[in-house]
Structure 1
């Protein structure tokens, strides 16, 4: 063998070792990997996160499974992840700190799960997050006022068709980049605590393309507010001033005995129940 060939052999071996592996070689069992940085495990009947996800994954699709939880250190392990789809699983809660400050996540879909509340610190000030989907969680009834604290890049927030009866305005007003928020289809309660949220909605109506009511009618602001249940209480009324909206505003007041409809309302009474002494 000539000296030249002997000299080339180690280089050829090194080059062969450095050849990138195909996406299929790194792909978790039962998942698809259309490119080296995408893992698609949607609709695979998974009851937990796959164990062999490549550490350099950027798009992870896990929709339509039965996954009940996300480990708190999940995004620490997958620091390159920018797109995470977990809709339509069995998530009942998100551990505080799951999204770290160093996370690069841009898109997160947690819709159509079994979430019951969004406590403070859930998203850990993930400053890169731009779109957050939390809609269609039928048991989601509480969102902490500081639940989205630190999400300075968040532009789209979806909270539609949950079980929210009230929402602190601070949860929305502290999002400086917010451009779109979906709140329709929640059982909003009409009381004095709703006043500050209503005022914010009037000032930012352009951010609510579907208003607060889940209906096919094309209106900008359509509120569906449910009066508090009747009890042995003394009823007092309060009034709230709001700027006249550019388009028609419609308010539906529903109760067990009657339903009234009022169009073009800019000042209206709101009831709050106070227990009798």
Structure 2
């Protein structure tokens, strides 16, 4: 508040001098000018006020916002120059993508002991100056792709004590300055879905404190998983056609086919292996399942030429 008043006072003096010197407007009272300048400043600070439930301290670095234990259910509107943000011990269960987009000066973010269930893509985008991120003791199960994108100055990320089972490819991005990543007490799923994260860790194996405590749900350290075991999990070993997607099935990647397609690589029509007897195979367009067309009637099997008579009688 003192910083705002200081700016207000300085701007007021400048405006008064300019008006006196250039316009010779002595008839304009200082009070009117003060009101005008104050209104302009306030208009520019509408989105930069301290949340009513939190406490804020301003200094040369920016605003230090403390919202510890305020029963908040969402991220409040914050001053644009927020430097330190403490949201510890609240009831925040979701954070929307781009939630911190207008806080480029943020250095420290504490979200410990909330109720977060997942971190969606682009949650922390634009936090290019963030140094430390605390996400301990939440209920996070999934780190989505590009969750920590462009966080080039972050040194510490604390994620211990969550329920993280899956970390999608590129969830952690490049993070060129990262020196510590804590993942203790998270039941990571160590089938083929761990391959992208495992590869990311192996590339940084020289940095002991990056993911060294990450463990699979069976207690095995992720870093100790052998490349020979995960060779079959490499994406290059799985190619699906006709819209099929590679999915992890243990330590293998298999194709999950859609529509009428089936087979190892989703290249076979379901009608290829579907026996319709004397009828014609037909792919139902809504759910992609095979049916038999028997004399204008859809059935599971056409026993012969008399099927039309049989169904009309029935």
TM bin (shorter chain): 0.5 to 0.7
TM-score when scaled to structure 2?
0.51
1:190, 1:172 → 2: CA distance?
11
1:39, 1:74 → 2: CA distance?
16
Which of the residues 47, 52, 55 maps onto 1:29? 52
How much has 1:179 moved relative to structure 2?
5.7
**Equivalent residue number for residue 199 of structure 2:** 170
Residues 60 and 157 (structure 1), Cα distance of their counterparts in 2 relative to 1, 3 Å cut = same
* 1:165-192 superposed Cα distances (whole Å, 9 cap, x missing partner): 535432223459946235448442489x
Match of 2:100, SS? Answer: helix
1:14, 1:62 → 2: CA distance?
36
1:181 aligns with 2:210: yes
User: Is the 2:164–2:186 contact (alpha carbons within 8 Å) kept by the matching residues of 1?
Assistant: yes
How much has 1:79 moved relative to structure 2?
2.3
| Equivalent residues in 2 for 1:33-182, closer than 5 Å | 33-35=56-58, 37-50=63-76, 52-100=77-125, 103-137=128-162, 139-164=163-188, 166=190, 168-175=197-204, 178=207, 180-181=209-210
Match of 2:118, SS? Answer: coil
User: Is the 2:101–2:126 contact (alpha carbons within 8 Å) kept by the matching residues of 1?
Assistant: no
Structure 2 unaligned spans of 5+: 1-23, 43-47, 229-249, 251-314
TM-score when scaled to structure 1?
0.57
| Equivalent residues in 2 for 1:231-250, closer than 5 Å | none
1:11, 1:178 → 2: CA distance?
59
If each structure's strand is expressed as a fraction of its own residues, which one has the higher value?
1
* 1:234-263 superposed Cα distances (whole Å, 9 cap, x missing partner): xxxxxxxxxxxxxxxxxxxxxxxxxxxxxx
Match of 1:140, SS? Answer: coil
For the pair shown, the structure with the greater C-alpha radius of gyration is: 2
* 1:140-177 superposed Cα distances (whole Å, 9 cap, x missing partner): 12223532221111111111111125354322234599
1:156, 1:126 → 2: CA distance?
14
- The root-mean-square deviation of aligned C-alpha atoms, in Å, is 3.7
User: Is the 1:159–1:182 contact (alpha carbons within 8 Å) kept by the matching residues of 2?
Assistant: yes
How much has 1:94 moved relative to structure 2?
1.0
Residues 11 and 131 (structure 1), Cα distance of their counterparts in 2 relative to 1, 3 Å cut = same
How much has 1:18 moved relative to structure 2?
8.8
Q: Which has the higher contact order (CA 8 A, sep 6+)?
A: 1
User: Is the 2:182–2:214 contact (alpha carbons within 8 Å) kept by the matching residues of 1?
Assistant: no
